[in-house]
Structure 1
């Protein structure tokens, strides 16, 4: 169980759910056939899961000091799993993920999979840089992690359908990737406020440390408001004819985001931020589930 908590199995489950929803809901909703077979797509899911799990491990290794202050009851490195073993798991998962994506590319050479391969190769480097250096710097680390979240959505869609085959499907995937990026960036900033005490002790320069909790709340509020406006603009300009999809997104995504953004301005303690972070993750899951409405097209 300690290993599962170390690799954050709940987040990995979300990745699997997201990938399968794209494959079995969004893709048939557009009447498209997948560019790669199911075995190779499952291997792609394995690749992303392995690289994400490795990223969680390296982050936990370099986060022991802050976690000992912010989450003393949830520390795994050195207390349950030795650091030496954690590093071996980290390298093993990265090697497995990279060899898997290389096998997929060699078996299905295409421009789309070359892009996916490049993103997968760069991801472990980006995650290591984040854990060692960028996590300590305001916004840069938050943005990098959020880009990788959006890139994972993009990779699953790109592996299934080439841009030239279905530009509408491609645009829809980019919209979901944008949603993933923006919601994750908001959650990353919220987690920085949650971890303010430990980060301050470790002399990090996160946004809440530099500008304070209240100003950070206003920036998160502005980011969520911007996300709402962008989604609203995309919906009204490109998806207005999809009644079920429009209704679903308005009721289960946009309205909750409006309510959450109002709660941000009133958030004061760790309990408030933890609750808001959880509900943002829930909205993201609900947003991904909106792909099922495309089956009615």
Structure 2
């Protein structure tokens, strides 16, 4: 029963959410000679609140989709846990907002809980728009940390450094958003038959497998060119340039090649695994770039 519960709330995704936000805080916000609003304890409260909201969303979604079917985990229990998690997320959110003397920030947590509830209730079937929206939320939620964790009493040179760090974070967020779209399209192409049985309106069902593959390919080429031109135009250091090419551009080129030759279900399963590896390499580049900025520039 416990394993089913953890499967419903996608515990691996929640752990990844914890990991990536603490990684960004440590690598691209902390340790640059200026103080910011959130301590690591405060960040733990913020991320825990976010994780509880996400988990409650998964449980609400399970409740509304499975209530008329025979399932292994009781739907009423799922609803009870969803309400408890949503309440705890609000408690933590309010606690943090008042702790950092920003009580108006508590409305953000209220909005998050309300949005999660209505999304789970109204969106019963997968569509391309719902996948697009989820990809956006997965990626741009990271910016909430930047919003909460603003620095204070900065000199002009420190503001300049902080602005550049925010640009780097934004670049990662945009790449993450586009990469999530590619991954969702790959998943939907592989699941096209089962999705069609459940009357979902995913991109492969609406446009066909070949056109969906071409769209994923076009986005992948866009990501590859975006990363490459950033490296060419803005990066002067050879070490940093090599890191971006090895961990950013080359994996994308391999994914592009596999998308161009993919035809079977096994090809798309391999592409999904390959996109996860590309994601891991992109995350790996964060501490490497951070180390260079902290020790080579400063």
Q: Is the 8 A contact 1:29 1:295 kept in 2?
A: no
The answer on 1:95 being equivalent to 2:90 is: no
* Greater shift in the superposed pair: 206-215 or 164-173: 164-173
Q: How far, CA to CA, are the matches of 1:133 and 1:196 in structure 2? A: 22
Over 3 Å counting, the alpha-carbon distance change for 1:134 and 1:82 in structure 2 is closer
Provide the alpha-carbon RMSD of the alignment: 2.7
- Name 1:81's counterpart in structure 2: 73
Instruction: Kindly report which structure 2 residues correspond to 1:1-297, keeping only aligned pairs within 5 A, or say none.
Output: 1-28=3-30, 30-62=32-64, 78-110=70-102, 114=105, 120-134=109-123, 136=125, 138-162=127-151, 165=159, 166-238=162-234, 240-293=235-288, 294-297=290-293
Q: What CA deviation, in whole Å up to 9, does each residue of 1:129-180 have, x standing for no partner? A: 5545556464211111011112222122333235984211211111111121
Structure 2: distance between partners of 1:173 and 1:4: 30
Distance in 2 separating the partners of 1:245 and 1:161 = 26
TM-score computed with the length of structure 1 as normaliser: 0.84
Which secondary structure does the structure 1 equivalent of 2:77 belong to? helix
- Measure how far apart 1:270 and its partner are: 3.1
SS in 2 for 1:80: coil
| Distance of aligned partners of 1:9 and 1:51 in 2 relative to their CA distance in 1, 3 Å threshold | same
TM-score (norm 2): 0.83
Which runs of 5 or more structure 2 residues have no equivalent in the other structure?
294-298
Structure 1 gaps, min length 5 = 66-76
Name the CA distance, whole Å, in 2 between partners of 1:188 and 1:22: 24
Given the superposition, is the C-alpha separation of residues 179 and 126 from structure 1 closer, same or farther in structure 2, using an over 3 Å criterion? Answer: farther
Per-residue CA deviation, residues 197-243 of structure 1 (Å, 9 max, x unaligned), is 222112222111111111100000011111112222333333x0344
Counterpart CA distance in 1 for 2:239 and 2:276 is 22
Q: How many residues are aligned here?
A: 282
Q: Cα distance 1:213–1:123, how it changes in 2: closer, same or farther (>3 A)?
A: farther
Deviations 1:23-45 (A, max 9, x none): 22222464443321222111111
- Cα 1:217–1:295 change in 2 (3 A) is same
Q: Does the Cα contact within 8 Å between 2:35 and 2:151 map onto a contact in 1?
A: no
**Larger deviation, residues 2-11 vs 226-235:** 226-235
2:204–2:212 CA contact under 8 A, matched in 1: yes
Structure 2 Cα separation of the partners of residues 29 and 296 of structure 1: 12
Which protein has greater RCO, CA pairs closer than 8 Å, 6+ apart? 1
